[in-house]
A and B are shown apart, each in its own frame.
Chain A
């Protein structure tokens, strides 16, 4: 079945440590790929997007993501996490219609 999978429901990292959030998709063609962040009580904010070209994309707040076609993955990374990065992160796939499918989300906790 077509899906977007975020294998980690909850991740805890120490402030200053590196971060990688995983995302895998199972759509046939290379889809349009997005990462969003959601702070408590708020809507989603776009971090970055991939459509084509360079497989390493840079986003806001120091985040980057790498598209790996062979692994059907689009993992989000940050070299040094700040306490303000604590939030929920969603990977999303834009389909070839007016639809966007989201993963279930990964909640990030940052330890002082």
Chain B
């Protein structure tokens, strides 16, 4: 299995508070992704990174920001959490971009509840 660690695995917080989720990889893969998973929607891409300090928006980026200061770490921040951001968040990595023959490998997820 790909070496991907997400932290925390579970978090409960209140509306309006900032939240940061961390994804750490040991595979030295260039690409890293953040998805959210909600019932009836499958996984939807929030942001991705194609290198250190290189990031771009995905399908559902509003309300989220990301940072990548090292190859191995990709942080997702909710500046002011809202109840609509209650979800399960997955990090994924790949050697090359999503259209290539390198499919993404996933972490075990972070369950975030915003009350």
Interface residues of A (CB under 8 A from B): 4, 32, 34, 36, 41-46, 49, 51, 90, 92, 94-105
Top 8 A-B residue pairs of the complex, sorted by shortest distance between their CB atoms: A43-B106, A102-B42, A98-B97, A100-B98, A102-B43, A44-B106, A94-B98, A104-B42
Interface residues of B (CB under 8 A from A): 4, 31, 33, 40-45, 48, 50, 56, 58-59, 90, 92, 97-101, 103-109
On chain A, the residues within 8 Å of B41 by CB distance are: 104
Report how far A92 CA is from B105 CA in the complex, Å: 13
Q: Closest CB of chain B to A24's CB: distance in Å? A: 14
Report how far A94 CA is from B58 CA in the complex, Å: 13
On chain B, the residues within 8 Å of A105 by CB distance are: 42
Report how far A94 CA is from B94 CA in the complex, Å: 12
